[in-house]
Amino acid sequence: MGHHNPDSPTHLKHYFHDVNQQYETSKFAMWAFILTEVLTFAGLFVAYIVYRSWYPDMFVDAHKLLDVNKGLMNTIVLITSSLTMALAIWAIQKNNKKLSVVMLVATFIFALVFLGIKYLEYTHKFEVGQLPGEFYSYMGPDAAHLNNPHIFFSIYFIMTGLHGLHVAIGMGLIAWLIYSTQKGNLTSEYYTPMEMIGIFWHLVDLIWIYLFPLFYLIG
Amino acid sequence: MSEHHITPLKTYLIIAASLLFLSGVTVWVSYIDLGSFNIVLAMFVATVKASLVAFFFMHLLWDDKKNLTMFLMSLMFFGIFVTITMLDTGFRGDLGLNPETKDPINKRAAFYDTLPLTDTHGHPVDEHHEDKDHH
């Protein structure tokens, strides 16, 4: 447990026995964080389940106001970004710095596209008044028979909004990874931050995998 | 760190292709009316996709199993959360306490200024008599 052992790698903190213990600890802590993330979203999923069980017909009708094509596009964009994130880690494991940076930049761009499509969806809903709670004012012919559609849109905005916030935070983290990798701070010897942010990014994808059918593809 | 598992490139590509294929499948089946089976099928496909992401992209398949245990625990607590909440909200109607028929929570939404209040089935609710069987 050398404090100043000249043989130990520079990224090894003195309070870890070896690099593998440090790596496993980081990963375990990351999964503890993922657990809290799942439970954060769990509260919102429970809200969805309770209100859908109370208003089954309204959920089916209100979801028709959402654009399935935009939802599907975002699904494809996010799955592809998950692949590029995984490939960025694969590339750094093979010590291919250039490819790793290219894949990280691709992931960043896909995240931007995701938020761009989300922005188009949100602005349209703001224009027509398909908004949460008391702000709901949409009176189109396809919504006249709806009962409490503003509840659907409250849950829609809070769930996709919190998910979108995760995408935005992920973009910040990926931007930092691009910088660190380019600078040479992350190599095949030490790429723990990239792997941890990768796990976070895949969680964002994983949550969207449930949000997409629950909001865009109801019955 | 030579002890790290390096997933072959082919695995990643197959998983991504499967995820895209299953996304198409779930959109396609959503247009077929299977009644209440639609949601079951949609959630089944989503869970298959989520498992592929968790086991391959998130490396849980090759990780120390303590990480998988942590993840499964979060899902277990989610299950407890849903079950216990539904034991309450699912049976309020049996007690005549259905909150959304007795007291629609929509009164402040802008569009209700012009629409009559309705219950869960879209039947009009008389605002002045909704509290008559209040206990």
Fold of A19-216: Four Helix Bundle (Hemerythrin (Met), subunit A) (1.20.120)
Are residues B15 and B57 in contact, defined by beta-carbon separation less than 8 angstroms?
A: yes
* B26 contacts on A by Cβ (under 8 Å): 212-213, 217
* A201 token code pair: 């990014």
Does residue B53 sit at the A interface (CB-CB below 8 Å)?
Answer: yes
Q: What was the pLDDT predicted at B43?
A: 93
CA distance A49 to A160: 15
The answer for residues whose C-beta is within 8 angstroms of residue B65's C-beta and 6 or more apart is: none
CA distance B133 to A107: 58
Residue type at A134?
Answer: E
Instruction: Pick B54 or B132 by higher pLDDT.
Output: B54
A82 with B7: Cβ contact below 8 A: no
Angle at A67 between CA A65 and CA A70, to 5 degrees: 160
Q: What was the pLDDT predicted at B114?
A: 59
> What is the DSSP secondary structure assignment for residue A3, as one 8-state letter?
S
A87 with B12: Cβ contact below 8 A: yes
Q: What is the mean pLDDT of residues B125-132?
A: 49
A217 with B100: Cβ contact below 8 A: no
Q: What was the pLDDT predicted at B98?
A: 60
pLDDT digits (tens, 9 = 90+) for A73-124: 999 999 999 999 999 999 999 999 999 999 999 999 999 999 999 999 999 9
Other CB atoms within 10 Å distance of the CB of residue A15: 10
Which of B42, B82, B106 comes nearest A150 by C-beta?
Answer: B106
Please give, rounded to a whole number of angstroms, the shortest distance from the CA of A25 to a CA of chain B. Answer: 10
A86 with B12: Cβ contact below 8 A: yes
| Nearest CA among B27, B15, B128, B58 for reference residue A200 | B58
**Nearest residue on chain B to A23, alpha-carbon basis:** B1
Angle at A29 between CA B70 and CA B3, to 5 degrees: 90
Residue type at B69?
Answer: T
Does residue B14 sit at the A interface (CB-CB below 8 Å)?
Answer: no
Q: What was the pLDDT predicted at B131?
A: 45
Q: Give me the sign of the Cα torsion angle A86, B69, B79, A170.
A: negative
Which of A39, A76, A202 comes nearest B78 by C-beta?
Answer: A39
Are residues A115 and A204 in contact, defined by beta-carbon separation less than 8 angstroms?
A: no
| Nearest CA among A205, A217, A215 for reference residue A75 | A205
Give the HSE-up count for residue A109: Cα atoms under 13 Å, Cβ half-sphere. 8
pLDDT digits (tens, 9 = 90+) for A38-53: 999 999 999 999 999 8
Does residue A86 sit at the B interface (CB-CB below 8 Å)?
Answer: yes
B90 with A53: Cβ contact below 8 A: yes
Binding-face residues of A in 101-140 toward B, CB within 8 A: 129, 133-139
Are residues A32 and B70 in contact, defined by beta-carbon separation less than 8 angstroms?
A: yes
Q: What was the pLDDT predicted at B77?
A: 95
Does residue B18 sit at the A interface (CB-CB below 8 Å)?
Answer: no
Q: For the range A104-107, what are the long-range contacts, defined as Cβ-Cβ under 8 Å and sequence gap of 24 or more?
A: A104/A174, A104/A177, A104/A178, A104/A181, A105/A178, A106/A81, A107/A81, A107/A174, A107/A201
Confidence label for B1 from pLDDT (cuts 50, 70 and 90): very low
Angle at A155 between CA B117 and CA A153, to 5 degrees: 55
Q: Name the residue with tokens 């498992």.
A: B51
Share of chain B above pLDDT 70, in %: 66
**Nearest residue on chain A to B49, alpha-carbon basis:** A209
Binding-face residues of B in 22-41 toward A, CB within 8 A: 23, 26-27, 30, 33, 35, 38-39
Find how far residue A185's CA is from the centre of its chain. Answer: 25
Does residue B93 sit at the A interface (CB-CB below 8 Å)?
Answer: no
DSSP string, A131-193: -SGGG-----TTTTT-SSHHHHHHHHHHHHHHHHHHHHHHHHHHHHHHHHHHHT---SS--HH
A20 with B20: Cβ contact below 8 A: no
Does residue A169 sit at the B interface (CB-CB below 8 Å)?
Answer: no
CA distance B65 to B25: 31
Instruction: Pick B57 or A8 by higher pLDDT.
Output: B57
Confidence label for A6 from pLDDT (cuts 50, 70 and 90): low
Does residue A43 sit at the B interface (CB-CB below 8 Å)?
Answer: yes
Other CB atoms within 10 Å distance of the CB of residue B18: 15
Does residue A189 sit at the B interface (CB-CB below 8 Å)?
Answer: yes
